[in-house]
């Protein structure tokens, strides 16, 4: 007994969308509570940091190349390079290092 695959996909997409708009449906104005405001201030940086490491080291064939890409990307972003440049520098680092590793 298998479900129609397109129905399955639509349900998957709809459930995902509900998570995206859940806050939009509830919130009518900014929340004043200082703790909650501070909490939300940190959320994006923490989430993205958690997703980046150690995943970046595990994504490449050689963990060393991933670690080098991490350092190169951090340095490039620290010295003011934009989104695209940082991403490309990371890719190039892996491409070059994996020639040798």
Question: Ramachandran region of residue 80, left (φ > 0), alpha (ψ -120 to 50) or beta?
Answer: left
> Which residues between 31 and 70 bind other proteins (CB under 8 A)?
31, 34-56, 59-62, 65-66, 69-70
* Least distance between other proteins and beta carbon 30 (Å): 5
Note if the bond before 54 is cis, omega within 30 degrees: yes
Going by the DSSP 8-state scheme, the letter that residue 60 receives in this structure is S
Residues in contact with other proteins, shown as a per-residue x/- string from 7 to 36 under the rule CB under 8 A: xxxxxxx-xxxxxxxxxxx-xxxxx--xxx
How far apart, in whole angstroms, are the C-alpha atoms of residue 1 and residue 18? 27
* Least distance between other proteins and beta carbon 23 (Å): 3
Asked if 100 interacts with other proteins (CB under 8 A), we say no
* Least distance between other proteins and beta carbon 71 (Å): 10
């Amino acid at each position: 007994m298998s479900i129609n695959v397109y129905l399955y996909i639509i349900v998957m997409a709809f459930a995902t969308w509900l998570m995206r708009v859940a806050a939009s449906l509830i919130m009518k104005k900014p929340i004043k509570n200082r703790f909650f405001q501070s909490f939300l201030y940190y959320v994006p940086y923490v989430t993205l940091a958690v997703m980046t490491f150690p995943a970046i080291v595990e994504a490449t064939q050689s963990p060393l190349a991933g670690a080098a890409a991490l350092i190169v990307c951090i340095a490039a972003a620290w010295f003011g390079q934009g989104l695209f440049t940082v991403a490309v520098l990371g890719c190039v680092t892996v491409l070059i290092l994996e020639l040798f590793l």
